Structures are given as C-alpha cells and as structure tokens.
Structure 1
C-alpha cells in the first residue's frame, strides 16, 4: 500500500450509466477529474450505457449488458438489480488482472465492494450519494419496510467497514458519521464546474427558442416526479394573464416525461407559454443559465441537495426554491426566494421576484458572492485531494484489511445474494 496519496491506482465502481447528464454520473465524473488532477490513475467499471469521456488517466470498462435490459431509469429498478450482477463480475475480473491501491465504490456497488476490498487487501472508499433506504421513499414501488430494512442493514455494514466515506450534503453526513468512528469522512458537495470538462457552447437559446423579448423562468434537471414539475406548471398557469412577457423554459427529461408534462401544460392552457427542450448536452447549460432572468427548483421530496443548485448559484441569477431541507442545506433567505412547496407558494415566489426587481437583484448578487466564496471548482478539487491523503495517512502501515476482519460469512453471503438478485 502507498504511504502517501500520490500516484495511486484506483478501481472505481459506479452502478450508473456513464456518462449521462444527471446527478450521480456528474458526481462520478468530477470525482475522477479531481483524482486524476492529483496524479492518480482511475479504472472505472460501470454500466454498458452512456457517453464515453476521454480523460488522460481514465480507463472506462463497461460490464456486459443482458439482452433484455435496454437501459436503466433514475432510481431503483429491476434493470439496475439485473445489471449489478455483471457489474460485480466485471469488477472481480479487473481485480484479478490488475493491481490497485484503492477500491472506490459508489452507491449500491459498495455492498459487494466490502467483500472484494477485504479479499484483495485494498482500501475501500465509499462514495455515498444518497442514503439508499431513504431514497426508496421517493419511489413508491420500492417503498416497503422489508426492502428498506435490508438496504438499511447493508448501508450500515458498508459504513462500519470501509476505510473512508464521502457524503455530498449535510443530511447524508448526519446519517454516516455515527457509524464512521474515527475513520476519515468528508462532506464534499457537488460544487465542481461542468464547464471544466465540457466547455461552454456558443448557443443562443433566446434566438433558438424565439424568446428574445421574454422574461425567462428556467428550470434545469430531470423531470422525475419528486422534482415538483406538476406543482410548477400549476403555479405558473395563473401568472400568464398578469405577466404576458413571462415564459417558462424547462431543460431536461426523457421524451416520455416531456410529453407527459407538455400535455399537462396544454390542459392548463399554457402550452404557448412553456417550452420543453428535453435533455441537453452539459455544454449548453451555461448558455441557458445566462439567458434566464430567474431560476427555479420546485423539488417537493427528498433530502439530497440538487446538483443544479450549485450551478444556479454560480450564475448569479435570482433563485426560487422550495423551503425544504433538500434546498436549505445550501440556500437561505439571503441568496434565494424560499417558498412553501405548494402551488400557491411557488406562484407567490415568482410574483415577488417579478414585481420587485431590486429584491431579485439583491438575491442574485448574494448568490454569486456565496458561490465564489464557498462553492468554487478549485475548492472542490482541494477537498477531494485532502480526503484521499487523509485516508492513506490513516491507514499507512496498518494493512488494508484491518477494519474488515470482524465481518462474518453470513453478512458476506447476504450482500452477494443482493447483487445477484436472489430472493
């Protein structure tokens, strides 16, 4: 094992389509970028879907795709459960063929990486993007107590046996820290700048969407139900008569989701005042942010901070967000218009910013200042580097398997049956 954090060989395992423009893949991407910037090499084992990213020091290894699995959606699904078995096999194949210093697991890949790290005498870093038992509450099909109990047990086991934990927001830190003992933990928010990887295209959204003279309220992100898009559309409809210059622009979502919400806007009589652009390349996001007059995040469920919030802050535009922990871990009333997570609350928030340009300008200036002070890309890179140095220093000379020795065989077997999808 290395006695310093320079020049590590890292095997990273991400049960995600990589790369795809949504939360966790963005986080995985920037973890890799930060590690490579420190002189490490990363082999990434991931799903057989997504865009290849060329980056010196990164090798992407995609697991086998069962012929009946065409893609995976956001959140838990049978498709993900099926794919985690070939993901496990691809991980073991890489471990047999290569020598690594660290096994870095994301999300549920940690369940089988616990055993693999012990077997191959590696340090195990757990990248905790969500509390998996909590995440199940956002998806009604899997929000069942027996399933939550199993995932809760597995999550605790990972936290108790890994060598270091990264969390992405204060809420997750409160879940992880009680099980960390004295092992390294870092709360590293997703403040990395996507433009550092994808650049910034020269698109002109106002021209492309014929909105040159409009006041644009912009939403970016997925169109999953917990994002509150239905609340937003219903809150926006009553504004249309009073503010004829206002236009709602939504970027993100699958074609089926876009069609669903476009039909909703049509039923509300606002189809001509709402533009859905669907999923856009990350290089286009900055131009959308610059074209907007205000930004909105109507999320109605969940506790993790939406990744888009950091981009919103950097844009130095006025922000409207629901007054829930998912936002208030980062936002407060000095940098955003925080509103009740209701149609009325969102509507009143939009009206306040439209009616009071001075208030909107103050929020925007404060948001930009907060981003520069606390959420810079350089700061993100430095936090990842410092965490890895701490993990290496903590375990130098102690043997990578020391924290794993007490794990019993029954626990290992349950973790393996979980990734195989056994009942």
Structure 2
C-alpha cells in the first residue's frame, strides 16, 4: 500500500552521512524508500560524510564544531558537541514552516520531540537502539545518572511521538511496552545495498593482496569492542592449527583499530594468515563475500540485530554467528551455525563448516529461502509504505475528530 499523498519530510540523522556503517546504511534506505513513494525529504545531518544523490532528497549539513574532525560510533563528548548545531539547524528548519512531518533518528528525537510539539508537526521516531543500553555497550557515560536520564528521555519520546519504527524484536518489545497505543512497525534493516551501490566486479585478489588458493573466512563490519573480534582472532588461532589453508579476512575498522588488531594477530602467531583490508566502499563488499567460504559474525554483546546479517542471508554463503539475542532474533539453527560466544565455540563452528561443505551448502540455501520469504527488498519497501500509511490515516482521523462540530 502506498501513502495517499506526497509529504514534505524533515529527517534528522545524528550521524556522519553517508558512511558505510550500521545506522547511516539504515538512514540511506529509509530516505530512498520514502523518496520512491513520492515524498520529498530534507535530511539534516552531521558535517561529515559522502553525499549520495537520490531524487527528491536534499542533504543539509550542520555547522562544523571547532577541533572536532570526526566522530566515532557510539556515545561520546564529540557527538554531544555535534548535536548542538544539528539541533540549531533543525530548529531553523521547523521555524520556516515548510514541513508536514519530522522523522528523527536515534538521539535526535530528544530535541525533535519538543520541536514537533512547539510547531505542531507530526513526529515519527526511528528507534535504531535503546539509548540507555548504548551507554552500557560502549562504556561511555555509563553512570546511573546518565542511564536514568536517557531512559526518561527515551520514554518521553516514545509516549509523545506519532509513530515509531524499530529494527528488531528487542526494540519492538521496548516500544510497544512503553507506548502500546502508538502506531508501530518493526522494519528490519533488510534493504539490499546493491540496489543503491553497483557491485565492483573485480576479484578480491585484484582489490587487495589476498593470497590465492586459500579458504576464506570473512568478517565485515566495524571494529568496536562489542563485535567480538578478539574472540574471533583467538578462535582463528585454533582453526589454523587444524586447517593450513584457512585464511581470515577482516573488512572494516578505523586505521588505529586495525593496527591494534594486527598487533594482536601477530602476538597469536597469525601473521600471514589474516588479511586486514580496512574500510571499503559498499560496492566492494560483494566481491569479498563471493570469495568467502564462510562468513562469521562474532558479536559478544548487545541486542540489536546487525544490519549486515540480512545481506549475509541472501549471500549464498554459510554463516557462523554467536548464539546471542543479537543474532537469534533473526537466525536459528536451520539457517546458521550458532555457537557459544567463546573462542572455543567460534573455532568449533568454523571448523565444522570447513570440514563439512555440504552442511554449509544446506545452511546457505535455507538462509536464502528465509531471505526471499521474509527479508526481501520488496518486503522492506512495503513495510515502510504501510507504516507511513498507518501514521497518516491516524493523523487524518485525529484531525477530522478535532474539527468535527460538537453534538
């Protein structure tokens, strides 16, 4: 179902957009879906990132903050500073009176909620994480006073917004428990990146110095502590002792993070058995997946489903993932090798797939069937359209009720 009319939407994303990591990917696919429905979007975002050309979308960057040249993932003092000019730019846009709906992401909802009420603009909250949980996951501002403040702000946003989008079951439970009367949709980050970014057709050997003839185990993503890369490196040391052709490829990470993991790999005696690619453009990821025999997601904490899992499901490659809610909200043992979140567990899972390719093929085929049935790009677009349709219908009903003559 498509939305009944075109809206002028003010979207606010407190991230460097675009950059190839979780939330910016989600923001990208949201604006692409809304633009394809005929809506016009002004996206207010940080002063960092790559411009992406999408018809019907205008990117507005907030002012730079002196001495802040970039922002890392998760809560930080730098992020707090960047949110101040972002809030100022949002206020200026609301005051101009051109918008029919505000769509906020993450902590931008904290100032979008009062601005929406002040200017009488409907507000949709895109909940990518529980912000009090982020303080614990990233060990930033992780004090009781901050957790309580974030919990109160999150509760206020959920109870005052006109609709909420969540990306996984854990967040859906929080949203529906806190505000059961609000329009809600769980829209997993299942949109296909290849629809936006053309695939680089070169082989990984052409793209980087991957050794030929190796059995590639692939990790893609950030190098944040919750991703479990120390566990993965420890596990791979065990794999190397049993399979001389196994080779681990790690795609992602900031330069200083890559160097730290390179040193850890060397200390484990893995020099020559691990390739660190660093951050790459999304168009290069399919080539690495095509070269891989196994894809691994070793997350050690958190509850949000990694966005990349949905791409892995459609990849045709078997997945090894830790048996934690961050994965099991989407994966089960019929589509992935789920293992304890330990070095021994990860090693056992990778070795099982290396030793039994037929088992891996069955898992990969089942994963593709699940993706086609439940997590297709078309299903994603339909959920976005249906959610906006439900919000607009509710707002129109509320308007008719308020303007109807008494009696």
Tell me which stretches of 4 or more aligned residues in structure 1 moved more than 4 Å: none
Could you tell me whether the CA contact under 8 Å between 1:217 and 1:296 is conserved in 2? yes
Q: TM-score, normalised by structure 2?
A: 0.96
Listed as ranges, the matches of 1:111-122 within 5 Å are 111-122=110-121
Cα deviations by residue, 1:202-237 (Å, 9 ceiling, x for unpaired): 121034433331110000000001000000000101
In the alignment, is the contact (CA less than 8 A) between 1:317 and 1:368 conserved in 2?
no
SS in 1 for 2:91: helix
Q: Is the 8 A contact 2:232 2:298 kept in 1?
A: yes
Distance 1:316 1:104 in 2: 35
Aligned to 1:381: 381
Deviations along 1:348-396, one digit per CA (max 9) or x if unpaired, are 1111111111111111111111111111111101100110010000110
User: 1:36-51 maps to which residues of 2 (within 5 A)?
Assistant: 36-51=35-50
Distance (whole Å) between structure 2 residues aligned to residue 107 and residue 289 of structure 1:
30
TM-score after normalising by structure 1: 0.92
**More divergent stretch after superposition (203-212 vs 64-73):** 203-212
SS in 1 for 2:26: helix
The answer to whether residue 330 in structure 2 is matched with residue 311 in structure 1 is no
2:34 paired residue number? 35
Unaligned 5+ residue runs, structure 1?
403-423
Q: In the alignment, does 2:170 pair up with 1:171?
A: yes
Deviation larger for 235-244 or 221-230: 235-244
In the other structure, the counterpart of 2:272 is 272
Q: Which residue of 2 aligns with 1:104?
A: 103
| CA drift at 1:6 | 2.1
Q: Tell me, what secondary structure is at the counterpart of 1:125?
A: strand
Query: Are 1:5 and 1:388, in contact at CA under 8 Å, matched by a contact in 2?
Result: no
- 1:309-330 CA distance string (max 9 Å, x none): 0111110210000000000000
8 A Cα contact 1:48 1:64, kept in partner = yes
In structure 2, the gaps of 5 or more residues are 403-407
Q: 1:90 to 1:399 in 2, by over 3 A?
A: farther
SS in 2 for 1:198: coil
Contact 1:6 1:38 in 2 (8 A): no
Q: Does 1:321 align with 2:321?
A: yes
Cα pair 1:323 1:338 within 8 Å, conserved? yes
Q: Which fold has the larger relative contact order, with Cα–Cα distance below 8 Å and residues 6 or more apart in sequence? A: 1
**Cα-to-partner distance string for 1:215-269 (whole Å, 9 max, x where unaligned):** 1000000000100000000010122132111100010000000000000001111
SS at match of 1:344: helix
Provide the aligned length of Structure 1 versus Structure 2. Answer: 398
By how many angstroms is 1:166 displaced? 0.1
- The yes-or-no answer on 1:206 pairing with 2:242 is no
Deviates more, 1:138-147 or 1:219-228: 138-147
202-211 or 380-389, which moves further after superposition?
A: 202-211
Shift of residue 98, structure 1, vs aligned partner: 4.5
8 Å contact 1:104–1:127 — kept in the other structure?
A: yes
Whether the aligned pair in 1 keeps the contact of 2:75 and 2:140 (CA below 8 Å) is: no
1:253 aligns with 2:240: no
